[in-house]
Structure 1
């Protein structure tokens, strides 16, 4: 090893104090200057600062009217999107075509396809009542009544009978 002794750059207490002060002051000054640079150039007029303008910007999108809670259901306004409803008392084929075919026609989410005997055999081994129950209450990815809650239980059962009739 060399005989040269290791020496520090800071030799006096005065130098130590100066280094400590600068190591704190320089980053603080840099942060202040960067913050000033980032916020400079934004001029807000008095209109955007007014309480009315602020209230308008933070206004909720919707409000709940508790005064009408518990009142009867009203029909949607004209032109509003409505659920697909089958007019009047529908037969099984109409219900299938309006509601069930979207999934059972293509086998979406492992739904048994219309007319596929193998796919329906697994469901039929539990009995027709079990298939009715699945159609009415939903099972797996299928929502209750196939997602059309406007259907009566009899209409759903008619659609099930129509689909089962194709595999018997």
Structure 2
């Protein structure tokens, strides 16, 4: 008998039927058996969350933030590293030409935006007085002697 005829004989449907039935029976019998009862209390304890996240939003009354608070929450993100040409906080050399504009000139730039800085530094909820506080705080870190408007 040639190799081809031996392979053909081994792959005849009659010869594959018995092993296929045996595999099918084994699979079906494996799923049979005594069902265990489900304990609802155990199930409930196993699916409990392991953690919970709560977000708390603190609201601040408009006009009540200090220059330092505004700097830390808004201005510092650019001025700490000098991002996009922003003068670095405390760098007297970078601030010298800006300080020459005076408090009103700096405040005007901060309120209306300048170069890459958006109006109010991106803090659209800032009042004009809060912007003035932030300007005084930031400029004073570079050596200006501006008076920060008081928080009322």
TM-score, normalised via structure 2 length: 0.53
Write out per-residue CA displacement over residues 99-126 of structure 1, whole angstroms, 9 at most, x where no aligned residue.
1011011100110111000011011112
Runs ≥4 residues deviating over 6 A:
none
Matched, 1:95 2:70: yes
Q: Which has the higher contact order (CA 8 A, sep 6+)?
A: 2
Distance 1:160 1:127 in 2: 11
- The Cα shift of 1:127 comes to 1.5
2:127 aligned partner: 152
Q: Which residue of 1 aligns with 2:139?
A: 164
What CA distance in whole angstroms lies between the structure 1 residues aligned with 2:58 and 2:128? 14
Alignment of structure 1 residues 41-56 onto 2, 5 Å: none
Q: Secondary structure at the match of 2:129?
A: helix
Question: 1:122, 1:86 → 2: CA distance?
Answer: 36
Select the residue among 113, 133, 136 that pairs with 1:138: 113
Contact 1:86 1:94 in 2 (8 A): no
Inter-partner Cα distance in structure 2 for 1:86 and 1:155: 15
Matches of 2:73 and 2:101, distance apart in 1: 27
Structure 1 residue runs of 5 or longer lacking an equivalent are 1-83
For 1:1-168, list aligned pairs within 5 A: 87-88=60-61, 89-168=64-143
* Secondary structure, aligned partner of 1:87: coil
